[in-house]
Structure formats: C-alpha cells, structure tokens
Chain A
C-alpha cells in the first residue's frame, strides 16, 4: 500500500481538492483506495457527503478501543472509501502526545489497511504539529500544492528546512503548482523560478477554475461532476505523474 499525503503548512492551497480528486482517479484506475480526512474541519468528508463523526473519536482509535477498519465508510464511487474526519481530531495532538512513541502512532493504525487497500491518501490540516510529524513519518510521499506566490514558496522552503532538521529524509516531496492563473504575470514568473531550482517539481499545473469551487455545491469530485473540464484533465495528469513518482520512490 502506498501512503500519499496532501500537505502544506499554508491553508487554502488546494490540498483537499487534490486528495479528493486523486482518490477518485486512483479508484477509477483500479487501485483500491481510501482517503483519511485528518482535518477536523472535515472538508474531504463533506465533499463525499459523509457525516464527520467516528465512533469513539480519535482517542478511541489511539487507545485501541476501535480499529481504523471499523470506521471506514464507502463513498459513492466504487473502489473509493473514506475514513471520516471527527471534530475530536482537533485534540489529536494532545492524545498523540500522551502515547509512547508519539510520532509513530498513526502509522501503527494505518498498517492493517495494507491488507485491503493499494493506496491511502491522507488529507492533512495546515500547520506543523504532532499530527503532521506522524504524517511525515508514515507517508511515502507528500503532495504539496503551491500557489505561485513568493510567500507561498517561502513556506515551502520552511517546510523543507523543518523536514531536514527533524530528520524526515525518507519521505519523497512532490510539489506542484495549484490554483494557477496564467493571465497573471507574477504567477508565470514565480513558476519559472522554482522550475529552474527544484527538479522535484511536478510538470502538472492545476489551473484556477471555478468548477473546482463548485465541488462544494455538488459535493463530489470535479473528476466526477465535470470529467472533461480542464481542471479534471489536469488532475488526471497529476495522478499519472504521481503514480509514476510513487513507483520510483
């Protein structure tokens, strides 16, 4: 089972949009896929019309009262399941801190899923916390949506610094540009500057498109509501590229 996380310290950059659409595409591609909504806000859970609640909350899971497998919900899409968010996840950091080897707890919970799934996608909340450290420890790769602005690239650099100092060297970084407006000179320049500097940068660019915002109205992935739209096609390329990088990582 590959573990992929959509992550960025910054909020509102397209992490959840990527997690939801890639999850849908991976399932269409024949991978048995499960998305774990780690964000107490529950955006991914909302997009799949699932109730943001798991019995026993995050603590129940950590205290081994309940298996992760027991809280999985099927989405409307064959081959794609979801582990819903839970409001108690906002205190997940505290619960993790109580455990022994706090950084390894989430991976421990995820391991049994390998029997059933080929791909696990973690949709992470923004911020650096014990939860995100668990994610860095568990994930094979981090998909990092970047809005092409100078500030946004700075947080990307901060993230790299953080991973290096904390010793998370095994995780592959897959940065890609998200919410791109090609009419903006500044977007184009920022993209070009990173492309020169960072060979890890994915070729795929996710355009800014109102159809992505409409996911909130339709409560379904773009790749399901408008599979021919440029945004859906871009997510298709993102999936293909991610798949290739995962195979080589």
Chain B
C-alpha cells in the first residue's frame, strides 16, 4: 500500500483583532479570487448514547442537508433532506450509511450534541492560467452547545488548502503565513473541535468501545469498524496530547494505540500480511515513542501518593525530584511534538484511515477475512482464556517476576478481545466476566507497576546524581520510597494465589465456556 501523497490542509490561527486589509497586504504577492461565501450553523447530531460515533460515523445538519460522514477520514456516507431534530431513522433517506442507519439507531433519535456558527469565505489562489493552485478559507467560528450557548472563545482561522501537484505554491503561502501567524497546525476537523469544546464529549465513551457489531458480518469488515473507532480516538486525543494539556489525552491516545496493536496482533488473518505487519510495526513504534512522556506524567501524578507513603519529614526532600520530573515531562512532550509533526506520521495515519474506510476486497486472500466475525471472536477469546488459565496455574511461590509479567500481558490481551467483541454477545453477559477478570488484573497490574516503579526510581536517582542535583536528603527520601514500594510489592505478590483462585473457580470457568465455547467439546 502506498502512503497517500495528497497534501493535507493546514490551519493558521489569526489574532482576534486584525486590522482591516492586513491579510490582503500580507498576501499581495498572490493572485486571489473570492470563490465562495458561506454563512451557516452546523449541528453535529448523535443519539444520547453516541450510537453513530460508536459505528464510526457522524451526522452534520446544516440549513439544507443532513450529511453523514466517516469519522476516520471525513469521507461522505450519504446525505438526506434536512429535518429538525429529533431525527429518527425513518425520516432519513434509507440509502445513507450503506443502508445501516436504521440498524445503528434502532429506536433512538439523533439530537444535537454540538454546534458551530460558521462564516467562511473561500479564496482561490490563481496562477497565470487562472487555474486554482491552492485555496485559502477564512473562517470565523463560534462553538455552541446544544442549547446554542457558546462553549469556547470564538476563533478566526485561515485554512490553507493545498492542491495536489502545486507544492511550490503551498510552500510559498506557508512561508508567509507561518511568519505572521506562529500558531499553526495541520487543520483540525471543526466538528471534532466543536465536540471537544462541548460538555458532553464522545471521549467519555471512547474508553468503553461501545460499538455495535453484527455477528454475521465479515471479520475483516468488523475489525475495520473496531480499528476505525480506535483511529478516531487517536485523532480526538491527539491535539490535546500535543498541547500537553491534561495527562488524560496522552493516556487515552496510548490506550487507543495499544488496543490497535493488540487487534492487529490478536485477530490474525483478516488483512493482507503486508498491511498487518506494516501497521503493527508502526503502532509499536508509536507506543514506544509516547512512553517516556507518559512515564513522566505517571510519576508526577504519583508524587502525592509517594509523599503519603513517607514520613512527613521526607516530604520536602522530594521537591527536587518533582522539579526533575517536570523538566523531564516538558522535554519529553517537546520531543513527542517534534516526532509527531513529521510528515511521515501524518501520512501513515491518513493512509491508515483510508485503509480502514476502504471497502473490503470481494475475494480476500487472508484466511479469516470473510469468516463471520462471531466465530473468529469465539475462537480468539477462548484460546486466550485457556492460555491465561494455563499460565496462572503454572505460577508457584517460586515463580520469577517475568512469569507474572507474561501472565499480566495475556490477561490484558484477553480483556481487550472481550471488550472489542462485547457487542456480539448477549447484553450484560460479558460484563460480569470482565469484572472478574479485572479483579484479577488489578493484582497483576499493581505487582508489575511496583516492579517498574522501583526500577525506574533507581534509574531517576542515578540520573539526578549524574546531573549533580541529588541532595543527600533527596537520596534518603527516594531510597525510603523504594523500600516502601518493595514492602507493598511483597504484599501484592502474596495476594496472587487468592486472586487467581477466585478467577479460576469453576463457576467463572463455566461461564467463560458457555459464552465463548458453547456447543463445542
């Protein structure tokens, strides 16, 4: 697969106060022609439980049409005459969303979840043949909640829309704009921006992956839906993450990356080998790239807990460690921004989105591609459950930490698989099993986290010492901390047997077998 060479839009944030004519003067070296003007209010619609979002789709209502689009890359998925919300499936052209709208919405109605009041003037940048070689869209945007209240300060944005094959013009424009408007970035979808500004965010549901899969649908198609949701979650969290706003953005972004990698690794034989390999590698790299920034976040967040673990006298000594972490965090986020602003990243992400929304091949070569997804899900989950059981039983008091680490990874894979495919099973049946698994995972997770923390704290300590900023009190405090973690580590390890016994008790095993292995052996 070739990465898409199509150039992407780029947005420049203009100052809210701009002298009249300033833009014209700035762009005096270019031939501009006003091509279009639009003044409208757009409403993003979804059900209260985000069903469209869950299906990788979005509905946008303007004065004339109700348009549907794929979340992953904004491609249209059909449109219908505008109707005032609440909009039920029956009021919409049945051809939209590949005919799936009624199934997705069921009895629910589409309601406004966020709005944008938009004034947009589009200018063509012309060459000597009067050919449009780039476009500039000047947009004035107000972000609204469903009641019409403003949710964020209004913005004035100039979007540079390059045209393929006219890279020199794009570069020349970018050079001028960049110099005058230092706040710029690859253009964001305004609907995503409006949702972000809104009190109800689809991100709330992002962690839960509540999409609705059809058990009889082809495996490759269903897996594309899951991956599409994860791709959208990355896109949603990426700006907040790059801005270094709240650790949650990076966290959610990483979860989506990890889950993507897990799907590619666990659900085998649904795509061409080359695709799977290429993106497993890519998302693996992305996981590694975002790791150090996340670590810095984690330790900063954990500082309060650490202080609580220590004698009050040690508290102030940790301030030097906190400073060290903050610097590190700033540095790692900077590095992250640099790495993620490379064109290759945008290109890979875009190509990935393109791949996910492209129709599946009629006669796929991959062995599992055309199988009904339910059978494949049963098989994968059951296999992973058995592996967890086997690895769990092998853990004795003498087992090395690595064995617990492996088991923890298997549990995580099992958990992801159960979550991805939850909608294929009767409502409510996966939930108690996930809860049982989660209780077990908590033990393994804490054990692993403590191991990592002890090791990393020692590493940080050594680094601070090298930089000559490890005062004796700080060293003492950090060593005391490691000792406390070590004690906790022992307690957690001892709880393992009991937790595993609870997870492997016959009732749980029977429930897993009934749900994922019914009617076989």
Question: A and B from one assembly?
Answer: yes
Instruction: Please list the residues of chain A having a beta carbon within 8 angstroms of any beta carbon in chain B.
Output: 30, 48-51, 69-74, 76, 81, 112, 115-116, 219
Q: Given known contacts A69-B5, A76-B124, what 14 new A-B pairs fall within 8 Å (CB)?
A: A49-B130, A49-B131, A50-B131, A69-B2, A70-B5, A72-B165, A74-B163, A74-B164, A74-B165, A81-B164, A115-B1, A115-B4, A116-B2, A116-B4
In Å, the complex CA distance between A16 and B76 comes to 28
In Å, the complex CA distance between A17 and B6 comes to 27
Give the chain B neighbours of A50 by CB distance below 8 A. 129, 131
Do residues A116 and B6 form an inter-chain contact, with CB atoms below 8 A? Answer: yes
The residue in A70, A71, A76, A112 that gathers the most chain B C-beta atoms within 10 A of its C-beta is A76
In Å, the complex CA distance between A116 and B1 comes to 10
In Å, the complex CA distance between A69 and B166 comes to 13
Nearest 4 interchain pairs by C-beta: A73-B165, A49-B131, A74-B163, A74-B164
Measured between C-beta atoms, what is the minimum distance from A234 to chain B in Å?
A: 25
Measured between C-beta atoms, what is the minimum distance from B198 to chain A in Å?
A: 28
| Contact residue among A48, A74, A115, A219 (Cβ-Cβ distance under 8 Å from B2) | A115
Instruction: Please list the residues of chain B having a beta carbon within 8 angstroms of any beta carbon in chain A.
Output: 1-2, 4-6, 76, 124, 129-132, 163-166, 354
Which residue of A is nearest B7, CB measured?
A74
Do residues B131 and A76 form an inter-chain contact, with CB atoms below 8 A? Answer: yes
Do residues A76 and B4 form an inter-chain contact, with CB atoms below 8 A? Answer: no
Measured between C-beta atoms, what is the minimum distance from B79 to chain A in Å?
A: 10
Measured between C-beta atoms, what is the minimum distance from B263 to chain A in Å?
A: 22
In Å, the complex CA distance between A50 and B131 comes to 7
Measured between C-beta atoms, what is the minimum distance from A70 to chain B in Å?
A: 7
Measured between C-beta atoms, what is the minimum distance from B165 to chain A in Å?
A: 3
Which residue of A is nearest B132, CB measured?
A76
In Å, the complex CA distance between A66 and B132 comes to 25
Which residue of B is nearest A46, CB measured?
B129
Do residues A74 and B166 form an inter-chain contact, with CB atoms below 8 A? Answer: yes
In Å, the complex CA distance between A115 and B5 comes to 11
Which residue of B is nearest A71, CB measured?
B165
Give the chain B neighbours of A48 by CB distance below 8 A. 131
Measured between C-beta atoms, what is the minimum distance from B199 to chain A in Å?
A: 34
Give the chain A neighbours of B130 by CB distance below 8 A. 49, 219
Which residue of B is nearest A81, CB measured?
B164
In Å, the complex CA distance between A72 and B130 comes to 19
In Å, the complex CA distance between A230 and B445 comes to 70
Give the chain B neighbours of A81 by CB distance below 8 A. 164-165
Do residues B164 and A73 form an inter-chain contact, with CB atoms below 8 A? Answer: yes
Give the chain A neighbours of B124 by CB distance below 8 A. 76
The residue in B4, B124, B163, B354 that gathers the most chain A C-beta atoms within 10 A of its C-beta is B163
In Å, the complex CA distance between A197 and B165 comes to 46
Selected A-B contacts with CB under 8 Å, 23 pairs: A48-B131, A50-B131, A69-B2, A69-B5, A70-B5, A71-B165, A72-B5, A72-B165, A73-B163, A73-B165, A74-B163, A74-B164, A74-B166, A76-B124, A76-B131, A81-B164, A115-B1, A115-B354, A116-B5, A116-B6, A116-B354, A219-B129, A219-B130
In Å, the complex CA distance between A116 and B357 comes to 12
In Å, the complex CA distance between A144 and B164 comes to 30
In Å, the complex CA distance between A202 and B76 comes to 29
Measured between C-beta atoms, what is the minimum distance from A227 to chain B in Å?
A: 16
Do residues B2 and A73 form an inter-chain contact, with CB atoms below 8 A? Answer: no
In Å, the complex CA distance between A72 and B2 comes to 14
Give the chain B neighbours of A219 by CB distance below 8 A. 129-130
The residue in B4, B124, B131 that gathers the most chain A C-beta atoms within 10 A of its C-beta is B131
Which residue of B is nearest A113, CB measured?
B2
In Å, the complex CA distance between A116 and B353 comes to 12
Give the chain B neighbours of A71 by CB distance below 8 A. 165
| Contact residue among B1, B4, B76, B129 (Cβ-Cβ distance under 8 Å from A49) | B129
Do residues B131 and A112 form an inter-chain contact, with CB atoms below 8 A? Answer: no
Which residue of A is nearest B359, CB measured?
A118
Do residues B76 and A30 form an inter-chain contact, with CB atoms below 8 A? Answer: yes
Measured between C-beta atoms, what is the minimum distance from A166 to chain B in Å?
A: 28
